[in-house]
Structure 1
Amino acid sequence: MTIHLTQTKPPVLSVVLPVFSVVLPVFNERESLAELHRRLSSVMIALAEPYEIIYVDDGSRDGSGDLLAAIQQNDAQVRVLHLSRNFGHQAAISAGLDHASGDAVIVLDADLQTRRRFCPLLAQWRLGFDVVYAVRRERKENLFKRSAYDIFYRLLRQVANVEIPLDAGDFCVLDRRVADVLRKMPERNRFMRGIRSWIGFRQIGVPYNRAARFAGQPKYSLLKLLRLAFDGFFSFSYLPLRLASLFGLLVSFLGFLLSVWTVYKRFTLPEFPSGFATIVVGVMFLGGIQLIALGVIGEYVGRIFDEVKQRPLYIIGERRGFDDERQAPDA
């Protein structure tokens, strides 16, 4: 008796890719994570389309990472990236973008200040805009921070070599092709809202009112805000270098005039005093100008040094909830 064996192909499992990918960088937000996930999940479920939520644990030290792991165990739509240490807010956003697979990528903060506010942004994305960013109507910080933000955004807008919208933070919706372009950006010192403006595509701003924090304190200290401001200025403007050159020309011209005046007085007034105090002031002034110029040059050289080293923007310690074929390498 002859037995004929027929080979059957294994069943092909279809993977439903998400329409929406929500990226949330997390740093020491344990107090608000449970409520954040509850509210965010309810909004995403109401959209009635496939979605994923990507939490990026940016080296939290308050147990946020353990809580995110527990949330992921109970929700199949959750993905968690545990970075090996704190790499910073901008790097954490980049890690989330690198692992997002949705047609639209929603970038949110984990402080519950934006919660349902992204629905109007999604409406604009459905109309065909590639980048939809949120613009704050008003700020509720103290007077010092409000003034600092106002000065920073308006000064950056004037000096940057691209048009950066006023009062627009990292909260935005990005089309798939925009997210793919951002993934290919090689720079290490990242100012995401500036890079987002630089890449172009169809962009629109949507005004929104930012809610108060649900719990905890803002994680951007004054030093981190200054560092972010420096990244914005030195990454998108050559004005500091040009100002250093202009100061140099101005001081050289003043020095020439002073030299002519000194020689003239020496020949016309034989008893013209040597002017020790004037010399000291002049030397101190010139020394200060030189140090400022060296500092400006040092900022650019330091950033070039970071780029040349080609170190990864972040390092992932552990991934949770990702399929093997969708895992992106460390960037």
Structure 2
Amino acid sequence: MRPELSVVMPAYNEEANIGAAITRTVEQLEGLGLSWELILVDDGSQDLTFARMREAAGSEPRLRVLRLSRNFGSHIAITAGLEHARGSACLVITSDLEEPAEKIPDFIRLWQSGYEIVWGIRTARREPLTVRVSSGLFHTLFRVFGLTGYYRQAIGGGFFLVDRRVVDVLRRLKERNRTVVGLLSWLGFSQATLAYEPVARGAGRSKWTFGRRLKLAIDSFVAFSYVPIRLVSALGIFIAGVSFTYGLFVGLRAVFGGIAVQGWPTLMVAVLFLGGLQLLVSGMLGEYLWRALDESRGRPLYIVAEELGFDGTRGAESAEPVRVGQAEFP
């Protein structure tokens, strides 16, 4: 029998937090008056995270556990949990205790009122100033040049709810270098936001390093924006125009003014500038080509090494048809 609510909790090296995160979440779920399941996704942890999950699942039959074969990244782990979820609604919450489980009933109320996607929006951020500034800049640029319908508030992607219809469509999007927030925003549907204040992390440090944040930003722009390519074209036209104008100016000055052309400094500046620009453009085009190659390989998004509490079936499709392109799925 399909539960009314599925909760997906991804974790990576969270042995110190996962036990408390499960306890707090289950306490809130018990008070909802809905049937539920809690899907724990171990994203290739190297500590005792999976052992803690196994122990919790042994005493609660509504807990289901997935252990991925390696660390695929949080967005892939979330995708794995959603693809195995059976609920009419699916809620995603992190395992680091920063997202308050006490807000789960508020998500449910918004979903029951008709919204198909409910985003949790942090009212305060506890990261360093450099992280807050860079994050704000990314969300602003992504809204302007990536997804025009993207929310003005920064969506972290660690606390949100989606309806079964949305999950059915998301399961058909097999992009490897993905951002779940971007994909869900692109899908549309009726969306709402829910403000909450994050709490202090239980233990350990955030796994979102500068490198991971940078990769997510690049993936987001490459997947949803043509602006980088258009910018390269515009820059090429601009440089060609400047070069032609400067060449015309130098030629006229040499012919009518009798002023000798200073070749060496001008040549070096032009060569170094154009050489650096070519490397930049080549790298940008390489990002698009590499992602096209990565998609063409057809490798699976993730590999499940072990699962607990599953009967061999994934989440059931919704009874109402959902259209993807020209295809119709039951």
Inter-partner Cα distance in structure 2 for 1:314 and 1:91: 7
The aligned counterpart of 2:210 is 222
Corresponding letter in the other structure for 1:214: G
- Are 2:97 and 1:149 equivalent residues in the alignment? no
Q: Specify the structure having the higher radius of gyration (Cα).
A: 1
Residue 9 of structure 1: aligned partner: none
Partner of 2:112: 126
Distance 2:37 2:277 in 1: 53
Letter in 2 for 1:123: R
Contact 1:133–1:172, Cα closer than 8 Å, also in 2: yes
Q: State how 1:190-205 maps to structure 2 within 5 Å.
A: 190-205=178-193
1:72-129 deviation per Cα after TM superposition (whole angstroms, max 9, x unaligned) = 1111010000000000111000000100000110011111111222221111001011
State the Cα RMSD in Å. Answer: 1.4
Shift of 1:161: 3.7
- 2:220 equivalent in structure 1: 232
Aligned to 1:61: 46
- Aligned partner letter, 2:72: F
Alpha-carbon distance in structure 2 between the residues aligned to 1:162 and 1:271: 52
CA contact (8 A) 2:8 2:40 kept: yes
Q: Which residue number corresponds to residue 323 of structure 2?
A: none
Give runs of aligned pairs for residues 174-193 of structure 1, distance below 5 A.
Answer: 174-193=162-181
Which residue in 1 is equivalent to 2:21? 36
Asked if residue 302 in structure 1 is aligned to residue 290 in structure 2, the reply is yes
Residue type at the aligned position of 2:154? D
- Matched residue, 1:8: none
TM-score, normalization by structure 2: 0.92
* SS across alignment from 2:16: helix
Contact 1:164 1:193 in 2 (8 A): no
More divergent stretch after superposition (209-218 vs 84-93): 209-218
Alpha carbons 1:162, 1:197 under 8 Å: kept: no
Q: Look up the match of 2:310.
A: 322
Aligned length: 313
The answer on whether the counterparts of 1:105 and 1:175 sit within 8 Å (CA) in structure 2 is yes
Gaps of 5+ in 2: 317-330
Residues 1-331 of structure 1 mapped to structure 2, 5 A cutoff: 16-114=1-99, 115-165=101-151, 166-170=153-157, 171-270=159-258, 272-326=260-314
Query: How high is the TM-score relative to the length of structure 1?
Result: 0.92
